[in-house]
Chains A and B, each alone.
Chain A
Amino acid sequence: MSPLLELRDLGVTYATGDGEVRAVRDVNLTLEPGETLGIAGESGSGKSTVALSVLRLLPRTARVSGEILLDGEDVTGMRWGRLRAVRWSSASVVFQGAMHALNPVRKVGEQIAEPIRLHTSLAEPKVAARVAELLEQVDLPPAKARSYPHELSGGQKQRVMIAMALACEPGLILADEPTTALDVVVQAQVLTLLSGLVAERGIGLVMITHDLSVLAATCARIAVMYRGEIVEQGPGSEVMGRPRHEHTRALAAAFPTVGDPVSRFAPATANPLPPEPAREEPDADAPGLLAARDLRVTFRDRDGRAVPAVAGVDLDVRRDEIVALVGQSGSGKTTLARTLLGLQRPTGGSVLYDGSLVPTSSAGLKEYRRQVQLVLQDPASALNPRHTVYEAVAEGPRIHGLPGDERELVLEALESAELRPAETYLARLPHELSGGQRQRVVIAGALALRPSVLVADEPVASLDASVRGEILGLLLRLRRELGLAALVITHDLGLAWNIADRVAVMYRGQLVEVGSVEQVLLEPRHEYTKSLLAALPMGTASAFERGV
């Protein structure tokens, strides 16, 4: 019997304005029915191109070479009619449904029914029954068929995508970043559901993601792609446990195992970290450099009901420490950060800076914001695309009228953000920089004001795995060398383990647990912290050691 999917010497070339780009080279993969295969790699590695080529969904500019055998039949040579018949009935795709893979103006039931109507001759009442059955399989109430995508949460949309993929009972499911942009807890639910359904029905699964830990939890075999080639392939535990290729090691290090002493205060960075300076034992009773006391922010919804976003938070960020604020989306962590920065007026309580109340006058706020700087998640949109690096970094000092030579200040800030040699970056525009370099420019813009606290909202969430470690290393280095305090907002517990001194866990507007990283992540007391840790695809090292 032929394998379910076989890729022989697959190559994909895109014709672009500047000549040809080889996105995929010499890829050989085999998948037997019922097997699970994970393809890992960062953006641009060609992993999504491989997935899309299986159903010939690549843009017109792509040229495919080699063979793609689906149930023994070469997809590359199929006529359009045959190809359309094979699509979804032999192999279906689970896209990143949480984002835009569902049509926003059609009800999800309609979208699930569409391939059923197309590929089977089921009578209309039976189609509706089949949709209800599929929704039940993904643990959604059948009534959700009448919902529009925007009425569903990210996890629910992803479940709809899975239901849709199962609609025509295909032998193969290609899942392209199925859990990216989902919260850890929801991610765990979706992964469990998907692996369960696939195993139950003996469906072959190809899972594509940048997150190795997700693959390790769901796939028997893992292939790692780098620059269009497969650099390593083997059983999941082996690739994760004893990565042979350098790039696999970088990928694995980007998602550290919580509790693993090797990755504590050791983000994956190529530059060496300075040694830990001697730090005074902080006075637990004195307020931190930046402090919140019984802080409350309440929004009103359309019907005038009070919605507490931040409900009585006490938090201290001390000199010379990095605090990670952890919680899932909607927990109020971004509102808390905005309020600390004076961008959102608190409904109650107070924000203290260096022991005194943060001023509310615009002049006072301006001075305060020089001290407390914000770094945003997406460097691509945080930078004005028409401003050069020099202008982007010089803007802050100009607004605040900082003394000294402007060029000196900019160069110094770029140097601190490790953009070296700084002169070569001055005249460049954001689109000429990589994602990691852009985030460094954003950080340099903040450093140019010589702040004492950085508030970073998901600073690495939109960056590639190999760049993540570098940016985290930068934050840690700034703390060690300059004593720069930071409040890092994240949904990623591994990040906290990597660089933070203390962790504050936020749930429904309240801090349910605050303490040192070791204390909170290794011996969680609150149920919510435990559920976050349990949702980590890899579990924690302490769980490994206990043999769970």
Chain B
Amino acid sequence: MTEKIVIKAERLTKQFGHFTATDHITFEVREGEIFGFLGANGAGKTTAMRMLCGLSQPSDGWATVAGYDVATQHEQVKQNIGYMSQKFSLYDDLTVEENFTLFGGIYGMSRKEMKEKTTRLLEELDFASERKTKVKSLPLGWKQKLAFSLAIFHAPKIVFLDEPTGGVDPVTRRQFWELIYQAADRNITVFVTTHYMDEAEYCDRVSIMVDGQIEALDSPANLKQQFEVETMYDVFYTLARKAKRGDS
């Protein structure tokens, strides 16, 4: 991990009418870091992430991702990031390889490079036999791992993961986090939202959002110390129960 800042948000805000989904959040993410972005349902995590990915225009404040302004240079931002949405969104009527070729091609990779990288990736995932399988016939856990591999296929500087392990069994979740660590080792910054507190422990630093604002931001160890509790679950619980909104 270096001290270089790759994501910087300053009073970043998104309003939908009178509702402020993300309320003046300020934070920084360092290169190669695994940054956990926590918060209850409806706290504004996805909205903030969509702004950082250039999918949503900020109402106020600003943010830079990989050195580009998300409000004005969003297409340059998009060239440097990978994104895995909450909703599984690979083309399920295409095969595994065709999905890789499509997105590799979009980012301007050469055919040879894509072919080699696909082979290597699928071998690492122990998945080589499914190269020509249509994505829709794969189990969810496999799909999620595949979606992650695809999000980092073009070697982005930063990868955004929006609840990547939702609905996935514990074994696959563990494997998934191994993939995340591998990516971080290759100096890819990982920005991840999750509801699993064991996963929060795996992060280098976490932020916890409550009602659109960041209430806490530090390493898991420091946070536990600060709130004088044993687990990240207790940290989260202490903060999140103050929330006035949410869908639960």
Interaction A to B: no
Q: Footprint of B on A, CB under 8 Å? A: none
